[in-house]
Every structure is written in structure tokens, then in C-alpha cells.
Amino acid sequence: MKKIVLTSIVALAASTALMAGVNPAVCAGCHGQNFEKKALGRSDIVANMTHKEIASALIAYKTTTESDELVMKPQVSRYSDADLKAFAQTIGK
């Protein structure tokens, strides 16, 4: 039963994210299927972040000059702030 509920939540998050224009499958490569991993072994675990923290981080990556954050810049630069905020609502807490 737990797997069914978790699978349903992940599917809902994925479909909501797709409506926002962001493809969460791209994120899974580094952050894990459920955003449970430290990307490249050093990022925060996204699943533990609030929606507001995620949105702020994603939007900040669009203009970052920090070398350890530059990997995210091309990932988010194609999306509007509204798309990133909508996507952030589908992950985290």
C-alpha cells in the first residue's frame, strides 16, 4: 500500500511539473527519482527543502556566477520564474 501511495504522489508531482514545463526526469539523474540524493555528492537534499527554498534556489541559479552552482544554470535558464515556482510546489515540503 505504501508503494502505491508513493508512486501516486510521484506521478502526480511529475504530471504537475510537466504542466509547468519542467521535466523532473532530467533532475533525477543527479538528485534521485524522489529528490533524495545530494547531487554530485554536495548539494542539499531537495526532498528536505521547503517549496519556497527550492523556488528561491532555482531562480537564483539563473543568474549565478558561483562555480559550484554553474552546472544548474543551463538547466533552469530556459524556464520562466513562474515555471520554476510552479515546479517547486511539486517537490520538497
Topology classification of domain 2-88 = Cytochrome Bc1 Complex; Chain D, domain 2 (1.10.760)
Listed by start position, the domains of the chain span 2-88
Average pLDDT of every residue of the chain: 84
Portion of the chain with pLDDT greater than 90, in percent? 66
Averaged pLDDT for residues 20-33: 89
Phi-psi region of 22 (alpha: psi -120 to 50; beta: other; left: phi over 0): beta
Averaged pLDDT for residues 25-40: 94
Task: Give the Cα separation of 1 and 20 in Å (integer).
Answer: 29
